[in-house]
Structure 1
Amino acid sequence: MSCDFAIADASVAQNKLLADIASKFSVTDEHLADVATEVHRYLANGLEGDNVPHGLPSRVSYIKKGIAEDIREAKKSEGLALGLTINTSANRLKVASVKFVNNAPDIINKQVFYMTKGIPSASQLFEEAATHIAQFVNTHNLVTDSSQIPLGVTIDLPLEETSKIGGRVACDTRGCDPFFMNVDIAQSLSSALLKRHLPVRVTSTTNCVISTMVAAQHHFQTTCAALILNHGINASYYEAASKISKISGSDLVGSNAKVAINTELARFGENSVVIQSTMWDHRIDRESGNTGYHIFEKLVADKYLGEIVRNLITDFLDARLIFPKDADVSTFSEPYTFFTSYMTIMEDTSDDLREVGDLLDTGFNVKTSYVDRQIVRALCRIVTMRAAKLVGAAVAGVVRKATEAMDKPAQAVVSISGQLTEMNQPYVGCTIKTAQELLSKMNLEEAVFNVLGEDGYTVGAALCSFSS
């Protein structure tokens, strides 16, 4: 993706506005290095205690780095396990059955279920989930004897693990989500499964970014970090228990264990001295339901990227610099109508940018000129490049922290999962490239990046179920 966004046939005014936007979204190498450094500092501060002003939550998981070896040694991998992903942002559940094939985990069956809209309570959500699990188990004839099938649950919300099996959605600076208030996920789902007399037992509860890291370890044993690129964003890594001050009183104190840390990377940027937000970012933040929080996520995550592009298009509309003057452009005034999935049009390299034109015609009922299509493609590229570079910088900070926890120097392996890995490959490629360049400047060895796709955390959930 070129950094020169000038359009040959565009007017001076069009190119001027495009150049102004590009300059405001530009991030220098020095700025990216500062982001990586500050993420590293936030991670270190988060190990000191909860709610540290310049720290990330850094939630400590019961999952330890040796989980892959433990599963193999126990020979539990000879059996079948279920993984359940609760994707609240997409209002869906994914169930998968996982077995080991040639000593590696493999999905045998999978199915996606959509949750009923407007479901009134968490207890009813788990009742619905249990119904879908029963349907999945019966459809695929998974019950062959009287033995119970272990089920690992993973969720895309902040999770406070309360035991090796259970966990509650955590409170953060915005308070507690009333929908999940005081709800133990494992206990609630187990109760719903019991009513249906299913031979399925919940044996683990994790956040999606932890389960992604566990899944990756079965492909690359030296996996030390994971990144989720979904509706939101998150990262995890393995930390030495001896460096976690806030776990005083835990049985981990004084141990040599390496434990999984759920960083809650989306929270980065609150009280940051290096995040540079544009006026469009401020607008997104102001109009969101959590103004002042999750600043970094609003710059880089799937939930917001399309909305940033829509705001930029409206600036061109207000300046009368795009689309026919008699076009009905009212749809562009409606928030979140330009979906992030539309941004794949930035890869359109056809002579007439037909894919861009078809999208604007069918999605917004607007007939466009070639210059119009070039402008929209350029805006998608500008927003994507900034987001990907910032995420790459954050990943470099996470990898630096993870390598410091290693017993001996080794090449870091980072796993990436989530829908953006399949929906926007230029984003992923730019993220990896930026991270590698920054790691080199830190005098660290380049990392290996392992892209698992959207199924990664569901496989990881099933694997976690073996570990109990």
Structure 2
Amino acid sequence: MGKVGLGLAVGCAVATCAIAAVMVARRVRSRRRWGRVVRELKELEEVCSTSVGRLRQVVDAMAVEMHAGLASEGGSKLKMLLTFVDNLPNGSEEGTYYALDLGATNFRVLRVQLGGKRSTVIEHDVDRHPIPQYLMTSRSEELFDFIVSSLLQYIERGEDSELSSSKRREIGFTFSFPVKQTSVSSGILIKWTKEFAIEDMVGRDVSECLQEAMSKRGLNVRVAALINDTVGTLALGHYHDEDTVAAVIIGKGTNACYLEQTDAIIKCQGLLTNSGGMVVNMEWGNFWSSHLPRTSYDIDLDEDSPNPNDQGFEKMISGMYLGEIVRRVILKMSQELDIVGPVSSKLSVPFILRTRLMAAMHEDDTPDLSEVARLLKDILEIPDVPLKVRKLIVKVCDVVTRRAARLAAAGIVGILKKIGRDGSGGITSGRSHSKMRRTVVAIEGSLYTRYSMFREYLNEAITEILGEDISQHVILKVTEDGSGIGPALVAAAHSAPVVDSVQ
């Protein structure tokens, strides 16, 4: 071999070795980086851990905070608002009742016909109306004139001639904004939320505004009940099953209410009801305890929110926030650990990853996680994500969802503990397990009804916390449209002689 040939051979060998060395170095760096990714995920799992022991601490904290909120105004993060609903529908109600449901950019009008037999709603019709944007910031008179105009048209289409006669009808009103209740049928608006900002209505009686608008149009209709959607869910649950003692909504937002004995409501000493009980609206989204497993992602999300240091429980368990937490985890891993290549600008957009999309990734059962790949590409503009990274993202979804569902379960058991339905007899008494009664919790909301993994984790945690002997007496029963049918049922229960009392 000549000198030139030898030189070329040596050069090629050196180049080959150099290339091999670069490739080896890249693989080593890749393995090290992936090792850091795995460690980051492991740390997330550990911080989000919801062992049975920790969940029982949350249960105890919930029960104690409920007690404090009933003892004095401002005594707890839980508002424990009185609803003045002291009689729940029991199935004996008869007649036709109307309902209005206002809680977002749409409102609904419903007619509910009751047949007097438990579990029988003979008929209910629904009419939906979008609220024009300008009415959300105009004057209260204009908003309620619009609502009543729609109600009148609905009644006329139904050809209910009795409404124009001397016979008065009853209506229930679901008004899902912060209200200080003054009776079962009246309450003062504390503040608007969502997209509403009608200044002249703050501090006014909501039912009075509706009643004035109906009277102006000649409608002989009385507002018999003013409630929020959680109370409506409880009413509907109790109508179908008298063992229903609490209601929970876990959807975009979350809240809970339950039946409390009036002698336990210390902040209103001397409060008397026909039944000896009253529904309490917990506003449990604001619950907080040092036992809640909070991460740096939760802290950052809270600081970036319009209401920092508020609604802490809701930000960990509700549909508004779960997808956003997952997005923040993926973003950090992408920026610091380069798991998906160049960081997409879409990944930095807050709330772009809706919880329903996160749930679709979590529940992707295709062998190659093709749905995960599609959503990453279509929503976050991250193409060609390796399978192992897709599996990692599914695991992140699982960690966040499992924590949320198990904490929600602890909240439910906290309610049961407060009223002595967890097998322990309550937070002060010591009744034996043998006296455990059948206990039903009405539940609504898309997280529980449509997200099967969330539902499975929540149900599993209920059993783990209570134990199998006790949990068999606790039934979570899905209801549908408590915010629509519920107010009509409450109106019916408070418009006729009461046959059954709150247990």
TM-score, normalized by length of structure 1? 0.85
**How far did 1:68 drift?**
2.1
Which of 344, 360, 378 matches 2:395? 378
Change in CA separation of 1:354 and 1:82 when aligned onto 2, cut-off 3 Å:
farther
Give the Cα–Cα distance (whole angstroms) in 2 for the partners of residues 56 and 314 of structure 1: 33
Given candidates 255, 260, 266, the residue that maps to 1:234 is 255
Measure how far apart 1:138 and its partner are.
4.1
Distance 2:321 2:154 in 1: 33
Q: Which amino acid aligns with 2:487?
A: A
Q: Does 1:273 align with 2:290?
A: yes
State the AA in 2 paired with 1:411. Answer: R
Return the match for 1:398 from 396, 400, 415. 415
Partner of 1:39: 62
1:93 pairs, out of 92, 96, 107, with 107
Distance change (3 Å), C-alpha of 1:306 and 1:149: farther
Moved more, 435-444 or 106-115: 435-444
Q: Are the equivalent residues in 1 in contact too, given 2:436–2:473 (CA < 8 A)?
A: no
Give how far 1:296 is off. Answer: 0.9
Query: For 1:280 and 1:356, how far apart are their aligned partners in 2?
Result: 22
Q: How does 1:125-140 map to 2 (within 5 A)?
A: 125-140=143-158
CA 1:438–1:121 in structure 2 vs 1: closer, same or farther (change >3 Å)? farther
For residue 5 of structure 1, what is the aligned residue in structure 2?
Answer: none
Partner residue in 2 for 1:415: 442
Residue 262 of structure 1: how far off its partner (Å): 0.8
Aligned to 1:318: 335
1:39 touches 1:398 (CA, 8 Å); kept in 2? yes
Separation in 1 of the partners of 2:373 and 2:70? 50
Kindly state the Cα deviation for residue 55 of structure 1 after the two structures are TM-superposed.
5.3
Aligned equivalents of 2:144 and 2:395: distance in 1? Answer: 44
Q: CA deviation at 1:313?
A: 1.5
CA distance in 1, matches of 2:373, 2:222: 51
- Does the residue aligned with 2:124 lie in a helix, a strand or coil? strand
In 2, Cα distance between the equivalents of 1:141 and 1:332? 53
Corresponding letter in the other structure for 2:149: T
Is it true that 1:456 corresponds to 2:469 in the alignment? no
- Counterpart secondary structure, 2:71: coil
Aligned equivalent of 1:59 = 81
RMSD across aligned C-alpha pairs, in angstroms?
A: 2.9
Once the 2 structures are TM-superposed, how far is the Cα of residue 204 of structure 1 from its aligned partner? 0.8
Quick check: 303-312 or 135-144, which moved more?
A: 135-144
Verify the 8 A CA contact 2:85 2:279 in the aligned structure 1.
yes
Provide the C-alpha distance between the structure 2 equivalents of 1:313 and 1:138, rounded to a whole number of angstroms. 54
Which of 373, 376, 381 is matched with 1:357 structurally? 373
Amino acid at match of 2:366: S
| Whole-angstrom CA distance in 2 between matches of 1:122 and 1:433 | 48
The equivalent of 1:367 in structure 2 is 383
Count of paired positions: 440
Conserved 8 A contact 2:139-2:198: no
Q: Secondary structure at the match of 1:45?
A: helix
Q: Quote the residue 2:71 is aligned against.
A: 48
> Structure 1 residues 256, 372: CA separation in 2 closer, same or farther (over 3 Å shift)?
same
Q: 1:34 to 1:21 in 2, by over 3 A?
A: same
Q: Deviations over 1:36-73 (max 9, x none)?
A: 00100111111111100x45221122112x4324x72x
Q: 1:59 to 1:226 in 2, by over 3 A?
A: same
- Paired with 1:457 and 1:339, the residues of 2 have a C-alpha distance of 23
User: After superposition, what is the alpha-carbon deviation per residue over 1:202-226, rounded to whole angstroms, capped at 9, x for unaligned?
Assistant: 2210122112111101111011111
Bigger shift: 406-415 or 232-241?
A: 406-415
SS at match of 2:414: helix
Distance in 1, Cα, partners of 2:177 & 2:390: 37
* Equivalent-residue separation in structure 2 for 1:92 and 1:178 (angstroms): 16
- Cα distance between partner residues in 1 of 2:450 and 2:147: 26
The aligned amino acid for 1:34 is: Q
Alignment of 1:292 with 2:309, yes or no, is yes
Alignment of 1:58-457 (within 5 A): 58-64=80-86, 66-69=87-90, 72=92, 76-77=93-94, 79-88=95-104, 91-100=105-114, 103=118, 104-105=120-121, 108-117=124-133, 119-121=136-138, 123=140, 124-143=142-161, 146=165, 147-170=167-190, 179=199, 180-252=201-273, 257-269=276-288, 272-325=289-342, 329-345=344-360, 346-369=362-385, 370-402=387-419, 403=421, 409-440=436-467, 446-453=473-480, 455-457=481-483
AA in 1 matched with 2:278: V
In 1, Cα distance between equivalents of 2:371 and 2:161: 47
1:109·1:140 contact (CA, 8 Å) conserved in 2? no
CA contact (8 A) 2:52 2:464 kept: no
Identity of aligned residues (%): 24
Kindly state the Cα deviation for residue 320 of structure 1 after the two structures are TM-superposed.
Answer: 4.7
Distance 1:429 1:446 in 2: 18
**How much has 1:274 moved relative to structure 2?**
1.9
Deviation per residue, 1:365-400 (Å, 9 max, x gap): 332333343333222222111011001001001012
* Structure 2 residue runs without a partner (length 5+): 1-32, 496-503
CA distance in structure 1 between the partners assigned to 2:132 and 2:44 by the alignment: 40
The match for 1:6 is none
C-alpha distance after superposition, 1:302-334 (max 9, x if no partner)? 221121111111112212533343x7x112212
Q: 1:120 to 1:171 in 2, by over 3 A?
A: closer
Could you tell me which amino acid in structure 2 is paired with residue 134 of structure 1?
Answer: L
Unaligned runs of 5+ in 1: 1-9
Residues 379-388 or 152-161, more deviating:
152-161
Larger radius of gyration: 2
Q: What's the offset of the Cα at 1:83?
A: 2.3
* TM-score, normalised by the number of residues in structure 2: 0.79
After superposition, give the CA deviation of every residue in 1:237-260 in whole Å (9 maximum; x if it has no partner).
1111112111124344xx761111
How far the C-alpha of 1:31 sits from its partner, in A, is 0.9
Partner Cα distance (2:124, 2:231) in 1: 22
Q: Is the 8 A contact 1:439 1:446 kept in 2?
A: no
